Amino acid sequence: MSSSSSSSLSHTGRQTTEIPTRCWCGANLTTFGAQTKENLFRRFYRCEIWLKRKIEHHLFKWVDEAVVDEINMVDAKHSQLKEDVDSFKLCTTRSLEKQAKQIEQTLHQIKMLMDAKTKSCGTKDNSALTSEDTLTSPRMSSSANSLTKIAVAAIALGTMAWIYARISN
């Protein structure tokens, strides 16, 4: 499966930047030991077809260089991944904070509306919300109360679904 003489390794052709798995010709790669004085027993990748047709240009790569390249590539990928995760975290946090504020505002508005409904007589500073009068029937305040609770639950559920959809994208 291994060891063969390698005469002219000057032709490297297309460079791969990681541990190669296949030659350009599609054949599987094997490692061979170099027989030259400068690189005696140094391992390199070559396909079996190259053994029979050495004049053709097949993939050549030193095993030690391939390992170093692979480590560098994994390192680069790792830092890129970390950057991506960090920016995703920041984005998600900002978006969640924005959503939380909106929910708070909505809840505050609903609470004010509820107060305006239950008090019915003494409307001091809730006059801004009188345009919402058609939302609930004024005759029973207890059912208006539960209606508001349902509305709050619905809004919270909708927001959670929205956040989930954003995160899982």
Distance, CA of 4 to CA of 7 (rounded, Å): 10
CB of 65 to Zn ion, least distance (A): 18
Which CB sits closer to Zn ion, 54 or 135? 54
Distance between CA 111 and CA 1 in Å, rounded?
Answer: 79
**Of 23 and 113, which CB lies nearer to Zn ion in the complex structure?**
23
Interaction residues for Zn ion, span 31-70 (CB under 5 A): 47, 49, 58
Q: How many residues sit in the footprint of Zn ion (CB under 5 A)?
A: 6
Smallest separation (angstroms) from Zn ion to the CB of 83: 37
- Counting contacts by CB under 5 A, is residue 163 touching Zn ion? no
Contact letters for Zn ion, residues 97-116 (x by CB under 5 A): --------------------
Residue number, 19 or 25, with CB nearest to Zn ion: 25
DSSP state, residue 134: G
Name the minimum Å distance from CB 95 to Zn ion: 50
Number of Cβ atoms within 10 Å of the Cβ of 163: 15
Candidates 25, 103, 129, 152; binder of Zn ion (CB under 5 A) is: 25
Single out the residue of 6, 9, 18, 27 in contact with Zn ion (rule: CB under 5 A). Answer: 27
Q: What angle do CA 107, 109, 112 make, to 5 degrees?
A: 110
Q: Kindly tell me the burial class for residue 147, based on how many C-beta atoms sit within 10 Å of its own C-beta (0-12, 13-18, 19 or more).
A: middle
| Strands laid side by side in the 29-33 sheet | 29-33, 43-47, 61-62
- Residues 130, 106: Cα–Cα separation, whole Å: 16
Nearer to Zn ion, 44 or 144 (CB): 44
Q: CB nearer to Zn ion: give 50 or 144.
A: 50
Burial class (CB in 10 A: 0-12, 13-18, 19+), 29: buried
Q: Which stretches of the chain bind Zn ion, using CB under 5 A?
A: 23, 25, 27, 47, 49, 58
